[in-house]
C-alpha cells in the first residue's frame, strides 16, 4: 500500500493532485484544514491536507482471474461492475468477498494511521517544548498576539484615511505601553488617549477685549464653503451670544459670493462691506470699530496659482486680523491637502476649520492636517443649514471615527 500526503489551497485541488499522482482509484484516507507555521500563518488562509493511499500490487480497477474489469461510477463513488461469461456465478460472490475484505483492511489502516498521526503530533509538541524554554514560548505567543492587535488598529486608521506613516507611529506608540497581560481593550484605551492628545483642545474665536472688536479673517482654497461658514458664525454670535457683528467680503472674483453674503447680512440685519484693495480693507475694518466681532471673507485661492497669494498676503496684513482661520474641506485628498498646506505656509499663526464633514464617512484628514501643521482645531461644519450646522470640533467623536468604532 502506497500512502502519500498532499497540500493544496482547497479540497478540489488536493484531490486533483491525488488523481494525477496515484490515479483515479486512490483512496482518500483523511482530509483536514491546516495553517502554515509562524507569524505569517496567522494571517494566511488555511490549506487543505489530504492523506491518500493506493494498492501498489493490485492496480486499482482490475482483479486477477476471469472476473473482468472494475469500472468507476459517477459522482466519485466506486462501484465494482463485473464482466463475466458463462455460468460461473460463483465469481460474483468471490469478488464480493474480496471487496469486503479490502474495505475491512482499509478501515483498519485508517484507524492505524490516525493513531500514528496522534502519537507523532504529541512527540513533535514534546520535542518543541524541550527545545524552547517555557518563558520564550510564552513570550513568542504574547508577541504574536500583541502584533496582531496592533495591525488591526493600524488597518482601521488607514481605512479611515489617516496617513499610513502617521498611523504607524501612533499604533507603535500605543503598543509600547502594553504589558504581558494587556488585551484589545487596553490597546484601544492607549490608542484613544494618544489620538485625543494629538488632536488637542479646540480653540474657537476668543472674546473681545480692551473695548476693541475681534477681527477674524477666513482663508482657504476654492469651493470649501468659506462664505456659508462665515454666515453661520455670524448668526450664532448675533442670535445666541447677543454680540454685534460686522461683515466684510473681499471675494470680488465671484459676484455670486458677494450677493450670497449680502443676502445673509440682510436677513440677520447686520452691515456688510465690499472691498477690492488692501487700502479699502483698512477703511472697512475701521468702519466696524463699534462692533464686537468683525468677520472677513476672502476669495478662494487655488493652491496652484501662486500669484494670487501675494494679493491675499496684502489683504491679511491690511486687515490687522486678530485671528486667521484656514478653512479646509473634510473631503480633500491627502495629496491635495499637502499641496494646499504648502501654498498657505506663509501664514504664521492660524487655526484649522473643517467643512463638509457630513459628506464623508471618515475624518482621517483632520488628524493628518493637525499632525502636519501643529495648528489648533476650531470648528467643523456638518451641513448647509445656517446657523445650525456648525459646532466646535468634538475630539471624542473624531477619535472614535478614526479608530473605526463610529460611522459618522
State residue 204's pLDDT score.
95
CA distance 364 to 26: 57
Q: What is the C-alpha R_g of the chain?
A: 38
State residue 97's pLDDT score.
58
State residue 4's pLDDT score.
84
- Residue 59 makes CB contacts below 8 A (sequence gap 6+) with 25
> Do the Cβ atoms of 101 and 20 come closer than 8 Å?
no
What residues pair up with 328 in beta bridges, in sequence order? 354
State residue 12's pLDDT score.
84
State residue 210's pLDDT score.
78
State residue 273's pLDDT score.
93
The pairing of beta strand 390-392 with beta strand 377-381 = antiparallel
> Do the Cβ atoms of 381 and 369 come closer than 8 Å?
no
State residue 73's pLDDT score.
36
State residue 51's pLDDT score.
87
The angle that helices 164-175 and 134-159 make with each other, rounded to 10 degrees, is: 150
Q: Transcribe 316-340 into DSSP letters.
A: HHHHT-SEEEEEEETT--HHHHHHH
Other beta carbons less than 10 A from residue 71's beta carbon: 12
Report domain extents, the chain.
2-131, 134-199, 214-392
Instruction: Please enumerate, as own/partner, the contacts of 264-272 that have beta carbons within 8 Å and a separation of 24 or more.
Output: 264/231, 264/234, 264/235, 264/386, 265/234, 268/231, 268/234, 268/235, 268/238, 268/239, 270/234, 270/238, 270/244, 270/245, 270/246, 271/246, 271/247, 272/246, 272/247, 272/248
Helix (H) or strand (E) holding 248: strand 245-249
Q: How far is CA 352 from CA 251, 342, 378, in A?
A: 20, 14, 6
State residue 406's pLDDT score.
39
Burial-class residue 125 by CB neighbours within 10 Å (0-12, 13-18, 19+).
Answer: exposed
Could you give phi then psi for residue 59, rounded to 5 degrees? Answer: -50, 135
State residue 186's pLDDT score.
85
CA distance 331 to 341: 15
State residue 296's pLDDT score.
96
Q: How far is CA 206 from CA 215, 325, 370, in A?
A: 10, 13, 20
User: The CATH number of 214-392 is which of 3.40.50.720, 3.20.20.140, 3.40.50.300, 3.40.1710.10?
Assistant: 3.40.50.300
State residue 282's pLDDT score.
94
Q: What residues of the chain score a pLDDT lower than 70?
A: 1, 36-44, 56-105, 107, 110, 112, 115, 117, 119-120, 122-148, 180-182, 209, 254-255, 301-307, 405-408
State residue 184's pLDDT score.
80
CA distance 151 to 220: 36
Amino acid at each position: 500500500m502506497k500512502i502519500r500526503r498532499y497540500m493544496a489551497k482547497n479540497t478540489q485541488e488536493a484531490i486533483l493532485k491525488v488523481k494525477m499522482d496515484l490515479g483515479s482509484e486512490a483512496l482518500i484516507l483523511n482530509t483536514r484544514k491546516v495553517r502554515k507555521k509562524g507569524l505569517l500563518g496567522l494571517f494566511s488562509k488555511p490549506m487543505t491536507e489530504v492523506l491518500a493511499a493506493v494498492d501498489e500490487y493490485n492496480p486499482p480497477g482490475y482483479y486477477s482471474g476471469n472476473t473482468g474489469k472494475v469500472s468507476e461510477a459517477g459522482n466519485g463513488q466506486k462501484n465494482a461492475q463485473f464482466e463475466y461469461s458463462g455460468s460461473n456465478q460463483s465469481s460474483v460472490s468471490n469478488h464480493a468477498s474480496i471487496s469486503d475484505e479490502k474495505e475491512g483492511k482499509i478501515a483498519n489502516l485508517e484507524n492505524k494511521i490516525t493513531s500514528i498521526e496522534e502519537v507523532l503530533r504529541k512527540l513533535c509538541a514534546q520535542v518543541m517544548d524541550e527545545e524552547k524554554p517555557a518563558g520564550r514560548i510564552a513570550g513568542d505567543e504574547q508577541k504574536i498576539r500583541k502584533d496582531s492587535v496592533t495591525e488591526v488598529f493600524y488597518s482601521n486608521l488607514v481605512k479611515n484615511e489617516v496617513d499610513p506613516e502617521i498611523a504607524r507611529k501612533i499604533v507603535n506608540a500605543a503598543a509600547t505601553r502594553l504589558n504581558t497581560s494587556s488585551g484589545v481593550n487596553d490597546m484601544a484605551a492607549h490608542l484613544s488617549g494618544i489620538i485625543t492628545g494629538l488632536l488637542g483642545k479646540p480653540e474657537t474665536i476668543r472674546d473681545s477685549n480692551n473695548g476693541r472688536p475681534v477681527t477674524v479673517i477666513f482663508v482657504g482654497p476654492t469651493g470649501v464653503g468659506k462664505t456659508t461658514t462665515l454666515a453661520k458664525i455670524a448668526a450664532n454670535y448675533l442670535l445666541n451670544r447677543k454680540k454685534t457683528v460686522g461683515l466684510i467680503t473681499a471675494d470680488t472674483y465671484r459676484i455670486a459670493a458677494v450677493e450670497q453674503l449680502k443676502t445673509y447680512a440682510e436677513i440677520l440685519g447686520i452691515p456688510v462691506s465690499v472691498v477690492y484693495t488692501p487700502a479699502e480693507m483698512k477703511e472697512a475694518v475701521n468702519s466696524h470699530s463699534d462692533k464686537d466681532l468683525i468677520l472677513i471673507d476672502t476669495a478662494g485661492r487655488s493652491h496652484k496659482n501662486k500669484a494670487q497669494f501675494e494679493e491675499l498676503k496684502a489683504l491679511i496684513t491690511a486687515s490687522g486680523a486678530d485671528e486667521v482661520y484656514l478653512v479646509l474641506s473634510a473631503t480633500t485628498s491627502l495629496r491635495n491637502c499637502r499641496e494646499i498646506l504648502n501654498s498657505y505656509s506663509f501664514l504664521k499663526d492660524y487655526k484649522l476649520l473643517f467643512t463638509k464633514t457630513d459628506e464623508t464617512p471618515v475624518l482621517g484628514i483632520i488628524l493628518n492636517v493637525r499632525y502636519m501643521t501643529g495648528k489648533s482645531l476650531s470648528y467643523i461644519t456638518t451641513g448647509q443649514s445656517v446657523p445650525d450646522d456648525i459646532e466646535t470640533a468634538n475630539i471624542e467623536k473624531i477619535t472614535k471615527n478614526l479608530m473605526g468604532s463610529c460611522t459618522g
